[in-house]
Structure 1
C-alpha cells in the first residue's frame, strides 16, 4: 500500500508513515485550523486551546497565543521558528524539497526533526477534485491554508473550524482617515488594491499611507508596506474564491468548513459560528474535560452507556469468519476495584497454568489406561 506521508533521512532514505485516516472516528473528527489574522488575539482563544480536539497552525499562526498539535508551511524554512521544528509534541507536515533545509538557528536538517513528515505536491488538481484520496500528493494552489485543509482531510478530519482566518487585509484607522479626508471611503468587500487605486487618483499615494501607522496585519508582530499588503489581500481574495468554487467537492468528500472568524471573507460562503458555539458543539460530541466527573470511576465495573439507549448486540457480517482471539477473563477483587497493572498478565498466566495442568492430567490418564495392554503385550 502506498502512503501519502513519509519520513526522510539525511541520506535520502524514505520511510513510509501510515497516517492516512489515522484521526478518523465513529463521528466526524474535528480540528481547529489557526490562521495568522489579527482577530485571533481578540477571540476567546483560551477556549480553543482547552477544547478536546487538536489544533493545526500554518506558518507563524498561533505564535504566543496557543501551541498547535499539527503544523504546516508553504514558504522557506528560514521564515519559521526553531521551537516548532524541534518540538516533539507538534506533528510537522512539510513538502519534501524542504527536507534538507537548515532548522533556523541550528545546524540540524529539517528531516532530522522529531515528528516531521513529508509529502509530494499536486499542482494540477481542479476545484471538482479538490479533496480526493486518489491523488498521490497534497494539493498545490500556492497557499498554506489550502494545503492544511487537504492534509487534515487526508488525516481523517471531517470538520474544520477556521479561527484567525479573515482572508483580507485592512488599513489602519489613521490610513482610512487620511483617505476619507480626500473623499475616498472604503467600500464593504472592496479589494485593497482597488481602494488604493481610487485613493491614488484622489492624490493619496501608497507612500502617504506608508508614512502613517499601519493597521495590524497579523496577530503577531509583523507589518507590510501597503503595496505588499494589497498583494496579500488579493491573494486572500483568490483563495476565498477557490474555496467557494470547491464547495461541491467539499460536500462530496463530507468535509465541513466552519468559520469562527468575525468579518472573514469566507463567511459569505461558509457557515459561521462563534467560538463558544463551536466549543459547545465539540463538547456535545466529544465530551467536556472541564466538567467530566472523576470520583468513583476506579470502582466502576459496568459499561457506561447513555441511559436512553436501548439494548445493543454485536453482529458479524454475513458469511464472515472472524479470527480466533483468546479471551482473558478479568479478575474481580473483593473490594470491586481493578488493579490495571495486574489485570491482564496475572489472569493470563493463571489460565496458562491451568491449561498446562489439564493437559498433563490428560496425558497421565492416557498412560494409565494403556498400561494393562502394555503388560499383556510384554
Structure 2
C-alpha cells in the first residue's frame, strides 16, 4: 500500500492510513454538490437538492438550518463549528491534521475521537499548474475551505463538482448605499463591497463616514460582519476566484469539471453556469431519477434489465491474458509430459488468432 492522502489519528498522535482515494469514482461519472454558505443558499429548493442522487459536500457552516451534509470540511478553528457535525456518524469529515487534537465544541472529546472523521496533511506549496492531480498525497492549503473541499472531493473520486451557495462576493450593505446617496458617492453597478471601498479610498472619501457600519446578509444564516472585515472577506473571495481561474488547465488535464450552480457568483465569469434544476437534470440523466423509479414487481424480476437501446455485449478478458486468470504467466506453466497431455492442454487453452486471421 502506497502513501495515502487520508488517515485516522489517535489521541496519542498515531496515524493510521485510510484507503479512501478514488472510493467514489464511477464509470458513469461521479458528481457531488460543493455547498458554500453564501446568501443565495437561502433561496434554494431544499427538497429537490435532498432528493438528487448526488451527495452534499458542505463547507464550514453551510446548510445549517436547511439540510445535513454528507461530506464536510473546514479550514478555520474547530470552535467555530457545530457539535452535531463532528459527532454525526452519517457525516464524513475531512479535516487538516492540525485539528485532530482540538476539542469538539461543548464536549470533552477530541476531534480525532469522532466517528467517520479523516485527516490530511495540507500542502502550502501547491501551484496552479498541478492544483489537482491523481498523484497527490496531500490536500492543497491556500488558506481557504472551498479549494480544500474541491481538492478533497477530487481525491475521493468525484469528477464533476456543482458549486452551490458559492456567491464569492459581498454586496454593499443598505447602510453604505444610503450613505452614498446622501453624500452623492458612486457605487458602480455590480461592484462588490471591496471594490466600492477601494474606489472611495482612491477618491479620498473620509473613512470616518463609515465607522461602525456592519454588513448584513453575508451568509444564508443569521450573521453579520463589521464593514471593514466584510470588505477583507470580499477581497479573499475575489482572490480565490482568480486562483481557480488560473487553475483551469490543471483541472482540465485532471478530468475535473467545476460547474457553478450559484446565480451572480464571481465564478460565473470563468466557469459554466447551470440552474439547480438543470444540474439535477444532468445528474439524474447519468444516475437515474429516484422519483421516477418504480418498485412494483421488482422482487420477482430475474432477467437482466438493459436500456432499450443497449447493443449486443460480450465480456472478454484482455487480449493476452489467459481466460479469467489475470496477466499471462506462460513461463510458469509446467511442460507437458507426453503428447496426450499436450493435446489436452491445447484443448483447454484459448486459441490465439492473429489480427490478419
Fold equivalence (TM over 0.5): yes
Query: Which stretches in structure 2 are left out of the alignment for 5+ residues?
Result: 327-357
Query: Which stretches in structure 1 are left out of the alignment for 5+ residues?
Result: 325-378
2:242 is aligned to: 241
Distance in 1 of aligned mates of 2:185 and 2:286: 49
CA contact (8 A) 2:122 2:140 kept: yes
| Aligned partner of residue 193 in structure 1, secondary structure | helix
2:210 pairs, out of 208, 211, 215, with: 208
CA contact (8 A) 2:172 2:196 kept: no
Shift of 1:291: 1.5
Q: How does 1:244-263 map to 2 (within 5 A)?
A: 244-263=245-264
1:164 is aligned to: 165
Shift of 1:133: 2.3
Q: How does 1:70-85 map to 2 (within 5 A)?
A: 70-85=71-86
Shift of 1:189: 4.8
1:183 is aligned to: 184
Segment drifting more, 183-192 vs 67-76 = 183-192
Shift of 1:274: 0.3
State the TM-score, normalized to the length of structure 2. Answer: 0.87
> What are the Cα deviations for residues 177-207 of structure 1, in whole angstroms up to 9, with x where unaligned?
3212322232245342331244465756366
1:30 is aligned to: 31
Distance in 1 of aligned mates of 2:30 and 2:287: 9
2:70 is aligned to: 69
State the TM-score, normalized to the length of structure 1. Answer: 0.82
Q: How does 1:31-50 map to 2 (within 5 A)?
A: 31-50=32-51
1:312 is aligned to: 313
Shift of 1:118: 0.5
Distance in 2 of aligned mates of 1:95 and 1:197: 34
2:349 is aligned to: none
Distance in 2 of aligned mates of 1:156 and 1:81: 27
Distance in 2 of aligned mates of 1:223 and 1:111: 31
Structure 1 segments, 4+ long, off by >6 Å, are none
> What are the Cα deviations for residues 79-103 of structure 1, in whole angstroms up to 9, with x where unaligned?
1110000000000001111110000
Distance in 1 of aligned mates of 2:15 and 2:208: 49
1:122 is aligned to: 123
Task: Find out whether 1:134 has 2:124 as its counterpart.
Answer: no
Distance in 2 of aligned mates of 1:168 and 1:161: 18
Segment drifting more, 157-166 vs 126-135 = 126-135
Distance in 1 of aligned mates of 2:26 and 2:226: 45
Relative to structure 1, the CA distance from residue 51 to residue 209 in structure 2 (aligned partners, 3 Å threshold; closer, same or farther) is farther
Segment drifting more, 182-191 vs 48-57 = 182-191
1:278 is aligned to: 279
Relative to structure 1, the CA distance from residue 244 to residue 189 in structure 2 (aligned partners, 3 Å threshold; closer, same or farther) is farther
Distance in 2 of aligned mates of 1:202 and 1:122: 40
Distance in 2 of aligned mates of 1:238 and 1:89: 33
| Aligned partner of residue 257 in structure 1, secondary structure | strand
| Aligned partner of residue 33 in structure 1, secondary structure | strand
Rg bigger for which structure?
Answer: 1
| Aligned partner of residue 127 in structure 1, secondary structure | coil
Segment drifting more, 236-245 vs 313-322 = 313-322
| Aligned partner of residue 244 in structure 2, secondary structure | helix
1:101 is aligned to: 102
| Aligned partner of residue 26 in structure 2, secondary structure | coil
CA contact (8 A) 2:41 2:164 kept: yes
1:298 is aligned to: 299
| Aligned partner of residue 293 in structure 1, secondary structure | coil
Shift of 1:151: 0.2
Relative to structure 1, the CA distance from residue 231 to residue 184 in structure 2 (aligned partners, 3 Å threshold; closer, same or farther) is same
1:55 is aligned to: 56
Shift of 1:115: 0.3
1:152 is aligned to: 153
Shift of 1:221: 1.4
Distance in 2 of aligned mates of 1:113 and 1:261: 32
Distance in 2 of aligned mates of 1:134 and 1:286: 27
Distance in 1 of aligned mates of 2:149 and 2:130: 16
In the alignment of these two chains, the number of paired residues is 323
CA contact (8 A) 1:170 1:215 kept: no
CA contact (8 A) 1:172 1:214 kept: yes
